[in-house]
Amino acid sequence: MKKINCILYIRVSTDEQADKGYSQRHQEEILSKYALMKEYNIIAIFKEDHSAKSFIRPEFTKIIGILKKKNHEINLLLFTKWDRFSRNAGDAYAMINKLNKFGVEPQAMEQPLDLSVPENKMMLAFYLAAPEVENDRRSLNVLVGMRRAKKEGRYVGSAPKGYSNKRDEQGRAIIVPNDQADHIRKAFEWLATGLYSNIEVKKMIEAKFEHYMSISHFHTLIRNPIYIGYVPIKAYKDEKAHLVKGIHEPLIDEALFWKVQDLLAKKAKILPPKQAKIREDFPLRAILQCRKCGGSITGSRSKGNGGLYSYYHCQHQCRERFKTESANVAFEKLLESFKFKEEVIDGYAEILIIELKAQQKNGNTRVIQIEKEISQFKERISKALQLMLDGDISPDDYKTIKSNYEEKITDLNRKKIISSTSEMTLIQQLEFGYGKLKNLLNYYQSVDINTKQAIISSIFKDKITYENGQYRTPVFNEVINLILKNDKGLGKKNKKTSGDNPPMSSQVPTTGFEPAHH
């Protein structure tokens, strides 16, 4: 009688080993004894610590490689149970057919089946499906358990930055602030001023954490309500996504958080359509105007003499082209020659502060109105509760009414926080702007390409023209012109009667600026 050559296959996953006591040593022991008893010739033993959800497993791949080399020399693939072979019925049937083509019979020592008998395939389906059902049930239990924990206000999962995972006295998962909490607070404070872009704050936070953070990770961080003491619960079946008050300590107050969210929403609305990445050496692209045809100037790089060279050039047929380095340097010299008179800036600052205080009073009036609306909605919820208790409406109707009004109350609370922006924060923003205006060139050189373009757009009303190493007299926006008209002191009449943008040298700034060397 021909002796059967077999391969022993041993598989266990880490969680199974911990939960059920499975072990590779135990499987190897009982499989070896069984093969010895049956007088099988053991060709090889393969041990796997990998999930059985698919057959993409390192050791099983090696088995297939051996079977290809020793076609029909191996007769049996032996394992303890069918769930050691696979936990996916569809994949299991496909792999059984593949093994049969090599002349190999897969067999479970503790659940032997003669697959040549058609009825046994029904039993095989049960053996394969049972672990899959068990996995699905376990996953569902975990999902339900996690949602229950979240509804109790407990954050489950890996703690976000600023927190650490801990256990309370009952051994339940909680998160507590760690030494990174102050960095998170600082990030929100920087964003709330409105003085820094998201990228700038991300870089400052990276310096605090001393490691790189992707922009998507940063955006997730600054939108996470966990930092104001809430646990987010995702939508599931008929249940809408909502927030639950957490049992953990918040890192920042709600006013600061919702103010940042409002600023982020406003920035998202004014963002231009997606376009090609703006290169750092082309800050004036789409801001320059062709001196020949009036068309838009773009920028690109070209190869020559063994290197890459950057040029601004017209997109039309006039062939206008000049080096980016020369144009950029000339533009910075133009900014360097601008020096706003401090008494003029300070005068306008006083006017703006008066206006901001007036707006603050309007904001306080709006807060009172919002509080009134919130009280009305709460009263309607109470009336709906009474109607349900009296039997005039069903519990489902009450639940719908309550949910709708609670959403409106949440939205009004956010608007209330935003309307309560402190006067001091607005004054800080003004002071930040004054400082940058007084030292425009240094600020321009220190920011990223997007901020540079924003600075240029805020100064000039129209596109600017570069010619013979200099810029033609630019047309300034209305705010800049108002400041420029008052170079002899705010409130004093200017004897000059020329227009907003009188003819002048291409490198000498208009009235209201002083050359930097004076």
Residue 416 lies in a domain: yes
- Structure tokens, 387: 């109607």
443-500 pLDDT per residue, tens = 888 887 777 887 887 788 788 888 888 888 777 776 666 665 554 444 444 444 444 4
What span, in angstroms and rounded, lies between the C-alpha atoms of 222 and 261? Answer: 8
pLDDT tens, per residue, the chain with 518 residues: 678 999 999 998 755 554 444 578 889 999 999 999 999 999 999 999 888 888 999 999 999 999 998 888 899 999 999 989 988 888 888 999 999 999 999 999 999 999 888 888 888 888 887 777 877 788 888 888 888 888 889 998 899 999 999 998 888 889 999 999 999 999 998 888 877 888 888 988 888 888 888 888 999 999 999 999 999 988 887 788 888 889 999 999 888 898 888 888 876 655 444 444 557 778 888 788 888 888 888 888 887 776 788 888 988 878 888 989 998 998 888 887 776 666 766 776 677 777 766 766 666 777 888 889 999 999 999 998 888 888 888 888 888 888 888 888 888 887 776 666 554 555 666 666 666 766 778 888 888 777 788 788 778 878 888 888 888 877 777 666 666 555 444 444 444 444 444 333 333 343 333 333 33
Q: Are residues 111 and 53 in the same domain?
A: yes
Q: Are residues 108 and 37 in the same domain?
A: yes
Query: In a 10 Å sphere around its CB, with 0-12 CB exposed, 13-18 middle and 19+ buried, how is residue 493 labelled?
Result: exposed
What span, in angstroms and rounded, lies between the C-alpha atoms of 26 and 21? Answer: 10
β-strand partners of 466: 471
- Which of 379, 410, 433 lies at the terminal end of a domain, its last residue? 433
Residue 182 lies in a domain: yes
Residue 491 lies in a domain: no
Q: Are residues 132 and 25 in the same domain?
A: yes
- Which of 221, 249, 270 lies at the terminal end of a domain, its last residue? 270
- Which of 270, 285, 300 lies at the terminal end of a domain, its last residue? 270
Q: Are residues 179 and 231 in the same domain?
A: yes
- Eight-state DSSP code of residue 105: E
Q: Are residues 28 and 114 in the same domain?
A: yes
Cite the DSSP H helix spans in 390-511: 395-419, 423-438, 440-446, 449-459, 478-484
153-198 pLDDT per residue, tens = 999 889 999 999 999 888 888 999 999 999 999 999 888 887 788 8
Measured in residues, the chain has a length of 518
Instruction: Classify the C-alpha dihedral 238-242-244-249 as positive or negative.
Output: positive
Q: Are residues 38 and 120 in the same domain?
A: yes
Task: Find where tokens 């997109």 sit.
Answer: 315
Residue 44 lies in a domain: yes
Q: Are residues 132 and 244 in the same domain?
A: no
Is this prediction's pTM over 0.75?
Answer: no
Count of domains forming the chain: 3
Contact 209, 229 (CB under 8 A): no
The residue segments making up the domain with residue 397 are 342-433
